[in-house]
Every structure is written in structure tokens, then in C-alpha cells.
Structure 1
Amino acid sequence: PPIRKLAKDLNVNNVTVVNAYHVLEQEGLVYKKMGSGTYVSPDLLAYAYEEQGISDNLGSLSFIEQGQIQIQKNTINFASATPMSELFPVDDFKQALNEVLDRDRGHAFDYQESQGYFPLREALIKYVQEYNIFANVESIQIISGAQQGIDIIAKALLNYDDAVIIESPSYTGAIASFKSRGAQIVDVKLLDDGIDIEDLDRKIRIFKPKFLYLMPNFQNPTGISYSRDKKDKIIDLCKQHGIYIVEDDYLSDLNFYSRDNTTLKSLDINNELVIYVKSFSKIFMPGLRLGFLIAPSVFYEHLLFAKHSSDISTSGLLQRALEIYFTRGTWKEHIEYMGEKYRDVFNLMLKNIEKHMPPEVDFIYPQGGVNFWFKLPEGISSRNLYEEAIKENVAIAPGNLFFVHQNDDRHFRLSIASVNDDEIERGIIIISNIVKDLIRGKNDKEVGKEVYRPIL
């Protein structure tokens, strides 16, 4: 209803209704039409039905990806990209927490300013310098994990029916965030060296997006890393068209064989083009839900408002502990440790794929990260593979989860984040045998088909 009418009906001030509508718009529940009024987002109901329409098994799989359901102890978990808990730096972080409590006493539990604990933001300036990113303390926004970072970017920048360009395939959480804002999601195919530049240029001209959402290093789910040439071209293209980039630095820390894991943010010399999103969940501890954004100054206030409306501020105790952890430089040792551990697991995974996976299955050779992306032969469904693998206590991620329209049925992702050496070999053998059976069954059906030919 119109602002004045609703204010009169509820016996409140007009400003109260304006503020309420603004909050609803920030949450993606309504959208405004200039000179017309405020409307409920029509995509919301359709999106809810779409989500409910996913089969029980695949719906559960999406929850596995978000870490929201338990996997049985005897399940080999290739579905989740969450690291093994035994790799977390528990003792170091416990020491940092105790030091914060001894030093700050009750103040450790105070609310922090929404932008984040100032000493932590100062420490992060030095941290990102290791990656050739040069920021100032005002450009850093502390977030409760990468997913919240994507959410508040969507709230701050997107209005109903704005276009966003993403990679195809892409991260499921980002797709969900953009859908919740009523955005028009435009996907561009990934090639072996990154996004298809020609198609990207064409779609930028057609759709004029608010921003691009990209993971240029060890992309999730494919593991693809962009070439340096392609990264430079993306920066030039976005400068030319005045388009912003949201860079999700998913796992550039786990670089095993890549010649170049340069971030797009490090190429954004004047901090005017790229909003950089970094989470510590994959490298340190998922339960911390800590990360940060580095944004151009034009977005400071918008992001701060979206952050405040989401959860006011991130845990002050955890921010203070993380500041000590970074100030001491302990994080460098841990990243080196994680790199060594996962390099061994990564190599073992490659060895078993090459040894056991049927030649009819294609896969991308990643150069780092924790994900492997596979393509099944024509006529073989990753949903069927998922269902059969679950019966054998092996969890995989069907590829359709990572596409906007969920209509791709031939790809699947395996992650090494939560599996040990023994599970890798056993799991790959089980998956390979299921794929062989599915191929054999498909061939048997084709042989058994009746063929009708014209009488000549």
C-alpha cells in the first residue's frame, strides 16, 4: 500500500513506513518502481517452489554443501568442501583466546563496531600485503564468513531485476543470494583458462550488469584457475564498461602447481573496481565464521548499512583472538602446514583418478584447491551416480547444483577437503565401478532398442 495510507492505517509516522519499506528492500522482499510505488518481489514465491521441487536426496546434498546436516560416520565424504577438523590450529587459537580473556576481561564480549575491530583491520592490511594487495583500514569490512559477505554485497548493490554476471558453473550460495534479491542472473561459460572473454564482453554490452561475480583462482566447483592474460583482460574490460567485480578468493592459499595465483584485487591498483571477499573458514576453522571485504570507497556506507542490518557486528571475542593470531604471524606457519597436507592428498587423488576412473569420464586437472570436476558420458546422469554412490556410503556433489537453472546432469564434483588417504582410494574405486555399471547399463539398453527402417 502507499506510504501515507499504511501510516494512517497503523497510526504511525510516514518515516516509520519509509524505513520499514527500506528494510524490506534490503532483504530482497520488495522492490521499488520510481514514480509508481513499492511491490512484492514476484520471484520469491517461484523461487520457494523451485527449491521445494528438488528431490529429497538432492535437497539434502545442498545442505551437505552448506554444512547443515550430519553425514554418517562411515560415509566417504567427497561432497563437502569443509576441511578435516584435525587440521585446525586448535592449540594456537586457544592460546590467543586465553590471552584476549586475560587482557580484556569482560570487554572481550562487548559489541564491536559494525565495520569490525580496528586492530584486526590494521593486522589484515599487513596480511593482504603478502598477496600484493594494498588497502587502508577504512576499506576493510569484517564479515561473518564469505557467504555473509556475498549476502551483504547483494543487499547493498542489487535492486530487483538488476543483472549479475557469474561463471557457469558457480558457487551455489552466491546463486541463492542473487536470486533472493530478484536479480537477473546471467551465466558465462568457463573455459580451461577462465571465463569466455568474448561471450563476457557480449553479455556485458547486452545486460549492463551491476557487477561480475568471479572466482579466478581454483574456482568452485571446477578447480579452474584463470591465466594471467585473462585476468588482465577482465580488468581492462570492466574498466572500459564501468563494471564492478566481486572477487571471491575461495582458496588461492592452496596453490600447488599454478604458475600464477594473482588476485584480481592486486591488479586493481587504485581500489576502484574490485570488491574482494576473503573467508578464513576453509583455511583456519569453519566454525569461526570470520572473513573480510576490501571495497572501493564508493561502497563503504552501503556495505556498512547492509552489515549492520544483517547481524550488527561479528563476534568481538573471535575478532580480538584473530588479531593476536595474525599479529604474531602464526597464520603463515598454518597455511604452510595446510599446503603440505593437502598437496599430498591432492596428488593421491590425481593418482587414483588416473588409475581407476573409466576413460569415458573427462575431468579437469586443477593446479590447487580441493575440488575436482568431472563430466560423464552422454546419457549418464550425475543424479543417478549420486543416488547409487550414497547406497555405497559415498557422498558426491551432482553438478546440477552449481548451475543457475540446475539443468546440467552430466557433471559432478569431488572434494578432497574432508577425506583421508584410505578413503580416497576406496571412494574412487566405488565411484568408478558405479560409473562403469551405468555405462554398461546404457549400452545394454541401446543394444536392446528396436530399430525401424523404411522398406525400400
Structure 2
Amino acid sequence: MSTQMSSASTSDFAFPVAARYAGMASSPLKDIFSLAARPDVVSFAGGIPDPSLFALEDIAECYDWVLRERGTRALQYGVSEGEAELREQAARRLSRELPTDASQIRVTSGSQEGLFVAAEALIEPGDVVLVESPTYLAAVQAFAVHGARMVGVETDDGGVLPDALDAAIRAHHPRLVYLIPTFQNPTGRSMSAERRAQVADVLRRHDVPLIEDDPYGELSFDGERFAPIASEPGMSSRTLLMKSMSKLMSPGVRIGWIRAEGPILDTLAVAKAAISMQSSVVDQLTVARYLETKDLDAHVAKVIEVYRERRDAMAQALTGRLPEGAHVTRPQGGMFLWAALGEGWDAQDLLADAVSAGVAYLPGWSFFAEDADRSTMRLSFVTHSPEVIADGVGRLGEVIARRG
């Protein structure tokens, strides 16, 4: 009887949920992975690397070495700042773009945790955070659960508009600005060197800090490399520059880092400790070993060749499949295309029919902090072969044609 009473009382009990999570029974990221896991659906919803491209043998060799040569340390607690070997390797790699010392690196469990660490360290409830319109949906979530109010800043195909950013800073007095300048998620857009200099000038004049998120910058299809905004004069000390190994080595390893300068480094370490104490020591030492002994640049070059072909396949397949007047980006790197179907179209409303037809994408409304364009959708081209891409886009085109 006591067991039955316990079961009944458990089923009737509901934990009180914090207001910041009220109504969030799911999340766009959770939904992405659910769609991607369905074998009957060609999913363009998630930026999920093709696992056949992982450097499995090299990574396994590095794990084996770490467990054999550094096993007791690798299985022990670590430090919140990150393991010294990884911070050295991260600094060495970053120094190709911006002079960096290992002391300026804070390791995170991927750039997603980096966003939460930064939000924990910087944001007070009620603070305004300026973001691109549209922007990375999980960043909006990370800032929102810390009480921030996001304000979207107008963009064009070259990224955030400097005049619009200037006006938004004057109007809203933000705590910080969050930008993804290179192969942006979700649009794939990149800022030119001139635009980056203009944005840096606005931020310096108003003395506003920047979170610069750069998980895709090395995935350049034409070889052009963009210097981070943090490398502009006067910007390195006012920028948290976030990097990740997820798109370059493996998303399952969950290792990234933040580059910063000055007292904020101590605060980031305290915030990291409060959230997760440390990132996995095994994974940190393995990534450090990989960066020290393997050729990541050569691996990335192979990945880029495949991604470029898939980008071209998706762009070609979309030709003639979208409504007249639709706008599609053609990124020079990264993982995503962004399509705006135009007035009268609702990509969220269209999704159920698309999934029934065996194809999925991510409706664009979730990437807007405000004033969402509901005709938009994000399409990732990295997961599938050109043949599967053509098939999936064909299914999507049929759904659109039936609605047109």
C-alpha cells in the first residue's frame, strides 16, 4: 500500500519551475536533434557534421595515448581555467589571427557552454543585449535565461549594419553586443574587413563590450580567412572571442575556449566553476594531443572540399524550387543556407507538410530576438551527400508547389 501511495503522490506532484523556463517544455535545439534522428526524414535542420568525415583513427590514437601516458591525471579533477597543454595549443592556434598567451584562454565544454559562462559572468536581470537580426537561437536562450532583454539589430547580406548598431546602442544602452561575423549561424553571411572595422569603431566610441562567436571561421570554401573583430585596434581587451573544436574535429568531444584579457578572466573561471567545475580532463588532454601531433589544417581542408560540393548541390537543387521572389544566401563557408520565401509564406506552418513528405528544415522565426520574419528557414548542407540533398530539396519543392 505504501508503494501505491508513493506512486500516486509522485504522479500528482509538480516541481515549481523558474519563471525563466516557464513554458519551455522543449527547445529548438532539442527539436533539431529529434528530427535529425528520424530515419524516414532527410533533415536539413541541424548543423550536424557527417560522421564519415571524422578523423576517427587519429582521434582514437590520441585518446589511447592520453589514457596510457597521462591516465591517472586524465581521470582526476582538473582546474576551471582549463588544462595547461590545451590552453597552450589554443593560444598557438589563435595567435595566427590575434597574438594570444595561454593565460588568456579559458576552456569551456563547447561554445554553447561558453555562452552560458559569459552570460553568468556579465549579465544582470534586465540588461539589454544587442544581437544580429537574425542570430544564433541558443545564444538568445542563454542570455534570456539570465534575465537579459535581447534587441535585434538590422542586418543585410554583409552582416550587421554599423549605423543601425550605433542607433541601437544610443537607444538601448546595452550591457554588451553579441555577433557572429563569419559564416553566421543561421544565415551563412560574413562581414567584410571594411564592415568589421566600422563595427569596431562603433563599439569603441560607445565603450561597449563584444562577445564574438567564431565556431565556423576556418570552414572557408575559397581560402579567404577573416580576421576577427577582436583583432581590430583597441578591441582585443573589450572582446570575449569564442572558439570551438566541434565543427573542426568532433562535436561529441565538447571542447571550446574563450579568449579574453584582464580581470574578466578570473570572473570567467569563477562562473565556469559554478556551472560545471571543469571541462572533461580526458577530452581536454586528447584535444591538446591532437593539436600537437596531428594536422588539423589538412583535415579541415578535406572537410571543406566536401562541404563546398554539398553547398553547391543544395544551391543548385533550390533553383526553381522556391516561390518567385524568394531570397537565398550563398555562403562562402560554414554550414548553412538561409532562405526567405517572401510575403505570405510561413515556414513554421509549412513544416508539418514537409516532415510528412520526408524532409525537415528549421523555421527561421526562432533565430529572431524580436520581429521575426516567419517566411524564413535555415537549411544545413553538411550532413548529406549531394544525391540525398537533391532528393530532400525535391521533396521540399513539391510541398511548396502544392501550397503555392
- TM-score (ref. length: structure 1): 0.81
**Quick one: distance in 2 between partners of 1:379 and 1:230?**
32
State the match for 1:142 in structure 2.
Answer: 107
Is the counterpart of residue 199 in structure 1 residue 164 in structure 2? yes
**Quick one: distance in 1 between partners of 2:19 and 2:79?**
35
State the match for 2:3 in structure 1.
Answer: none
The alpha carbon displacement at 1:347 in A equals 1.5
**Quick one: distance in 1 between partners of 2:69 and 2:379?**
44
State the match for 2:64 in structure 1.
Answer: 98
Alignment of 1:46-445 (within 5 A): 48-49=22-23, 51-52=24-25, 59=26, 61-65=28-32, 67=33, 71-130=37-96, 132-257=97-222, 259=224, 261-267=226-232, 271-354=236-319, 356-405=321-370, 407-439=372-404
The alpha carbon displacement at 1:268 in A equals 5.2
**Quick one: distance in 1 between partners of 2:92 and 2:344?**
51
CA RMSD of aligned residues (A): 1.9
Contact 2:117 2:275 in 1 (8 A): yes
Contact 1:165 1:209 in 2 (8 A): yes
What do the CA deviations read for 1:407-450 (whole angstroms, capped 9, x no partner)?
A: 431101110122222111011111112112211xxxxxxxxxxx
**Quick one: distance in 1 between partners of 2:263 and 2:280?**
26
The alpha carbon displacement at 1:248 in A equals 0.5
Contact 1:268 1:274 in 2 (8 A): no
SS of the equivalent of 1:297 reads coil
SS of the equivalent of 2:246 reads coil
The alpha carbon displacement at 1:70 in A equals 5.6
Give, as a single letter, the amino acid of the residue that structure 1 aligns with 2:109.
S
**Quick one: distance in 2 between partners of 1:290 and 1:300?**
18
SS of the equivalent of 1:413 reads strand
Contact 2:200 2:235 in 1 (8 A): no
The alpha carbon displacement at 1:100 in A equals 1.1
What do the CA deviations read for 1:128-160 (whole angstroms, capped 9, x no partner)?
A: 123x22111111000001110000100000111
The alpha carbon displacement at 1:260 in A equals 5.2
The alpha carbon displacement at 1:356 in A equals 3.8
The alpha carbon displacement at 1:405 in A equals 3.9
SS of the equivalent of 1:272 reads helix
**Quick one: distance in 2 between partners of 1:323 and 1:236?**
35
State the match for 1:443 in structure 2.
Answer: none
Larger Rg: 1
Structure 2 residue runs without a partner (length 5+): 1-16
**Quick one: distance in 2 between partners of 1:371 and 1:207?**
31
The alpha carbon displacement at 1:357 in A equals 3.5
Give, as a single letter, the amino acid of the residue that structure 1 aligns with 2:48.
T
**Quick one: distance in 2 between partners of 1:206 and 1:411?**
27
Matched positions, count: 388
Contact 1:222 1:372 in 2 (8 A): yes
Structure 1 residue runs without a partner (length 5+): 1-42, 53-58, 440-456
The alpha carbon displacement at 1:68 in A equals 6.0
Alignment of 1:20-59 (within 5 A): 45=19, 48-49=22-23, 51-52=24-25, 59=26
**Quick one: distance in 2 between partners of 1:356 and 1:381?**
16
Alignment of 1:444-455 (within 5 A): none
Give, as a single letter, the amino acid of the residue that structure 2 aligns with 1:399.
G
**Quick one: distance in 1 between partners of 2:358 and 2:27?**
14
**Quick one: distance in 2 between partners of 1:44 and 1:224?**
36
**Quick one: distance in 1 between partners of 2:71 and 2:227?**
41
Contact 1:219 1:250 in 2 (8 A): no
**Quick one: distance in 2 between partners of 1:118 and 1:268?**
28
Going from structure 1 to structure 2, the CA distance change for 1:274 and 1:61 (only over 3 Å counts) comes to closer
SS of the equivalent of 2:154 reads strand
Contact 2:158 2:191 in 1 (8 A): yes
Going from structure 1 to structure 2, the CA distance change for 1:149 and 1:60 (only over 3 Å counts) comes to closer
Contact 2:35 2:43 in 1 (8 A): no
